[in-house]
Amino acid sequence: MDLEAVTKHSAFHAKPSGLTLQYGTAGFRTTAAHLDHIMFRMGLLAVLRSKHTRSTIGVMVTASHNPEEDNGVKLIDPLGEMLAPSWEEHATCLANAEEQDILRVLTDISEKESVDLQQDAFIVLGRDTRPSSEKLSQSVIDGVTVLGGQFHDYSLLTTPQLHYMVYCRNTGGQYGKATIEGYCQKLSKAFMELIKQASCSGDENRSVKVDCANGIGALKLKEMQRYFSQGLSLQLFNDGTRGKLNHLCGADFVKTHQKLPQGMEIKSNERCCSFDGDADRIVYFYCDAGGHLHLIDGDKIATLVSSFLKELLLEVGESLNIGVVQTAYANGSSTRYLEEVMKVPVYCTKTGVKHLHHKAQEFDIGVYFEANGHGTALFSKAVEVKIKQLAELEDEKGKAAKMLANIINLFNQAAGDAISDMLVIEAILVLKGLTVQQWDALYTDLPNRQLKVKVADRRVISTTDAERQAVTPPGLQEAINDLVKKYKLARAFVRPSGTEDVVRVYAEADSQENADSLAYEVSLAVY
């Protein structure tokens, strides 16, 4: 380590005094103006992580669905997963070190993790379309190079595309080529083959309207469209040419406000979807003849996907275990439908995709989705090999196995991915001959409400049981229990956000009015 150079460069990326930030559910996130030092330091940390794992590490600059003025950064581990928890702690420590302590913290991390400093380091970078992202990613590069790391800057990418690149690079190209072209080809090939397998391709001109949240999704869909235009035509809205990122549009807006995105013209019963600002989340929706919005969220996506996979497994005749992973935000109706009607085991983890991803890896086939539309399906290596073998057969079994093999290729195995998920959903709808209305009608969501509460210190709230029960402050859980008892089919919980300085309140009940008032009453109990 050239210690002198680190000190010198670090001074150009000085930490605002008194600022402390934590590596949360999705890395660091705050107003972009406060992030320059974080970016430089995450460049440094990525180099240590790369030396430690002897692998390529990813650094993504994005604040996803948060406002355009915000930004953020997260590190991507060798197999495309989120950063290991012990390194999240190192990240927080390094981020909050005062200038004079930087070298000591770097040395501490290297010693604790026995990092071989002679080892090479390689970092790949990606960023979203925020005005602040380009400059911030230059600061990451500054951190990488000052520690002697090599890098490749993919510049504009969706978050899941960068996860894909990292995964490809660390698996010797077995998963795919680590280029945009490789990504587009892999997904579109699988999609087009699936579409060809549909017995009646039905409406030949399938099209879907996409709200791109004025973000990177628009750019990347435009780039990719020509690869699958024979099978699906897209009409893009909020493509970033006029509106502001995530403002009154995008998956998070549609899901939390349960409102149509602005900037989109839709007719009744048209199939539409919304991406979030970095294109790792997707929700579907349509308006019925009465102008009423029907939201099809991550829970319903998980239901569609897992029921399709379960049927295919039956046809293939393999008894492989399949599990669905949700969080406490999953609508109660979805959990009931999955368990009681579809007879699929459902597991609940803490919020944050790393928890869901980890749990999903325990199954032959693990389907995970957050209600907000972030998710994917994971297939074990053994399943992949088995299915590829069976796909060689020329009978009905072989046909089902071929379909499954294409689905495996179409799902991003490294991270939840709006583009990949959209193609999977579109393919399943064609293959099953389902309309968006029929899909929506699988079950009826319980009315629900999510609220944010500003408190002096959100850390006073701690939780257990996958965040469904509050442990502290004392008395809070009892108060929630008493409120829930007043309503029918009710459920409510509170948890501190990992990405914003707020406490989130969730409530569901038999009517929207009741869900709203339960959420409101619980938010008063939080103060």
Q: Which of 41, 49, 74, 374 binds ligand NG1 (CB under 6 A)?
A: 374
Q: How far apart are CA 116 and CA 51, in angstroms?
A: 6
User: HSE-up of 29 (CA within 13 Å, CB side)?
Assistant: 19
> Do residues 80 and 415 touch, judged by C-beta distance below 8 A?
yes
| Binding region for Zn ion (CB under 5 A) out of 113-121, 279-287, 420-428, 439-447 | 279-287
- Out of 30, 53, 62, 64, the residue judged to bind ligand NG1 by CB under 6 A: 64
- Judged by beta carbon distances under 5 to 8 A according to partner kind, the member of ligand NG1, Zn ion, none in contact with residue 445 is none
Question: In the complex, which residue's CB is closest to Zn ion?
Answer: 64
- What's the angle, vertex CA 48, arms to CA 413 and CA 91, rounded to 5? 80
Which CB sits closer to ligand NG1, 72 or 366?
A: 72
137-176 residues in contact with ligand NG1 (CB under 6 A) are none
> Is 495 annotated as contributing to ligand binding?
yes
For residue 410, give the amino acid letter: L
- For residue 373, the minimal CB distance to ligand NG1 (Å) is 9
Tell me the torsion sign for CA atoms 506, 512, 517, 518: negative
Decide which of Zn ion, ligand NG1, none touches 329; Cβ closer than 5 to 8 Å per partner kind.
Answer: ligand NG1
Stretch that binds Zn ion, among 31-39, 59-67, 266-274, 333-341 (CB under 5 A): 59-67
Segment (H or E) for 293: strand 293-296
- The sign of the CA dihedral 328, 329, 330, 336 is positive
Angle between helices 159-170 and 180-196 (to 10 degrees): 100
Torsion of CA 252, 253, 254, 256, to 10 degrees: 80
Least separation, in Å, of the C-beta of 353 and Zn ion?
A: 9
Burial of 420 (0-12, 13-18, 19+ CB in 10 A): buried
Least distance (Å) from Zn ion to the CB of residue 289? 32
211 contacts which partner out of ligand NG1, Zn ion, none, CB within 5 to 8 A by kind? Answer: none
Query: Which CB sits closer to ligand NG1, 43 or 72?
Result: 72
Q: What are the backbone angles phi and psi of residue 211, rounded to the nearest 5°?
A: -90, 115
E strand or H helix at 322? strand 322-327
Among 333, 372, 420, 448, binds ligand NG1 (CB under 6 A): 372
Active-site residue, selected from the candidate residues 50, 64, 274, 307: 64
Residues 60-89 that bind Zn ion (CB under 5 A): 64
**Residue in 113, 311, 384, 500 binding ligand NG1, rule: CB under 6 A:** 500
Judged by beta carbon distances under 5 to 8 A according to partner kind, the member of Zn ion, ligand NG1, none in contact with residue 499 is: ligand NG1
- Burial of 344: CB neighbours in 10 Å, binned 0-12, 13-18, 19+: buried
**Residue spans of beta strands (DSSP E) within 92-170:** 122-127, 150-156
CB of 276 to ligand NG1, least distance (A): 8
User: Does 409 belong to an annotated binding site?
Assistant: no
Q: Quote the CA–CA distance of 416 and 376 in Å, as a whole number.
A: 5
Smaller CB separation from Zn ion, 25 or 380: 25
For residues 278 and 299, which CB has a smaller minimum distance to Zn ion in the complex? 278
Residue 64 annotated as catalytic: yes
Nearest to ligand NG1 of 9, 29 (CB atom): 29
Residue from 70, 77, 211, 276 in contact with Zn ion (CB under 5 A): 276
Contact window for ligand NG1 (CB under 6 A) among 160-168, 224-232, 438-446, 492-500: 492-500
Q: Is 30 in the site for ligand NG1 (CB under 6 A)?
A: no
User: Is 504 among the annotated ligand-binding positions?
Assistant: yes
Contact residues for 64 (Cβ-Cβ < 8 A; gap 6+): 26, 72, 128, 159, 252, 276, 277, 278, 280, 281
- Do 480 and 525 contact (CB within 8 A), yes or no? yes
Under 8 Å CB-to-CB from 515, ≥6 apart: which residues? 446, 447, 448, 449, 490, 507, 508, 509
What minimum distance in Å lies between the beta carbon of 458 and ligand NG1?
Answer: 10
Q: Kindly state whether residue 497 participates in binding ligand NG1, applying the rule CB under 6 A.
A: yes
Going from the C-alpha of 90 to that of each of 190, 416, 511, the distances in angstroms are 39, 25, 45
Q: Which of 70, 239, 364, 370 binds ligand NG1 (CB under 6 A)?
A: 370
- Nearer Cβ to Zn ion (239/278): 278
Q: Shortest Cβ distance from residue 263 to ligand NG1 (Å)?
A: 22
521 labeled binding residue: no
Partner whose binding site includes residue 276, from ligand NG1, Zn ion, none (CB under 5 to 8 Å by kind): Zn ion
Q: 85 labelled as ligand-binding?
A: no
Q: Is 280 in the site for Zn ion (CB under 5 A)?
A: yes
Extract the runs of DSSP E, i.e. beta strands, from 228-279.
Answer: 233-237, 272-275
Query: Using the 8-state DSSP alphabet, how is residue 32 labeled?
Result: G
| β-strand pairing of 207-211 with 150-156 | unpaired
Minimum CB distance to Zn ion smaller for 64 or for 523: 64
Q: Which two tokens stand for residue 368?
A: 């995970």
Beta pairing class for 491-496 and 503-508: antiparallel
CB of 344 to ligand NG1, least distance (A): 21
- To the question of whether residue 421 is assigned a binding role by annotation, the answer is no
Give the residue ranges of the annotated binding site.
Answer: 64, 276, 278, 280, 370-372, 495-499, 504
Binding residues for substrate: 370-372, 495-499, 504
Q: Applying CB under 5 A, which residues contact Zn ion? A: 64, 276, 278, 280
Catalytic residue ranges: 64
- Contact positions vs ligand NG1 (CB under 6 A): 25-26, 64, 329, 351-352, 370, 372, 374, 497-500, 504
